[in-house]
Amino acid sequence: MKRSAVYPGSFDPITYGHIDLVKRALKIFDDLTIAVLVNPKKKPLFSLEERMEIIKEVFKDEERVHVDAFEGLLIDYLKKKKMNIVIRGLRAVSDFELEFQMALINRKLSPEFETFFMVPGLNYTFLNSSVIKEIYSFGGRAPDLVPPIVEKYLIERFKK
């Protein structure tokens, strides 16, 4: 039986922390769908199309990684895709509280829903997309935290 999972998020932009999680999840699951969230409450730096294009480029050599988009409830997306396992990253205790609450609510709404929590590699416990955007917005660089294609997009977006 094929073991598939979904890794949802905004990925605005994807970082080496996200990539670390994907690579380690692929050691457990046969394939992984990176599901890019369309959240009308958020104003992303990159369009949905740009985020998906970047992720596809990053994983172009990994046939077990699929990229998709969704809006609305995650459990509705999972039902539509006939999947029931979600990967979520936990960097700190503060992440755990929110992620734990979401996992329980999702399970309440759909009992077959399972959340698989993963802790990032030590090098990425502090990393999130907001930090990356802030660094680049002030003209800084962090090439060891994002893939070259992400850095290219960030430099272009924050040209003054």
Catalytic residue among 18, 51, 88, 133: 18
Residue at token pair 């890794």 = 7
Catalytic residue among 3, 42, 60, 108: 42
18 is an active site residue = yes
Catalytic residue among 56, 79, 81, 91: 91
Is residue 134 within a helix (H) or strand (E), and if so which, with residue range? helix 129-137
Cα→Cα distances 83→8, 56, 62, 86, 129, Å:
13, 21, 20, 9, 26
SS3 content of the chain, % helix, strand, coil (to 5): 40, 20, 40
Residue at token pair 């509705």 = 76
Bridge partner residues of 4 (DSSP): 31
129 is an active site residue = yes
Catalytic residue among 51, 88, 129, 133: 129
42 is an active site residue = yes
Give the residue numbers marked as catalytic: 18, 42, 91, 129
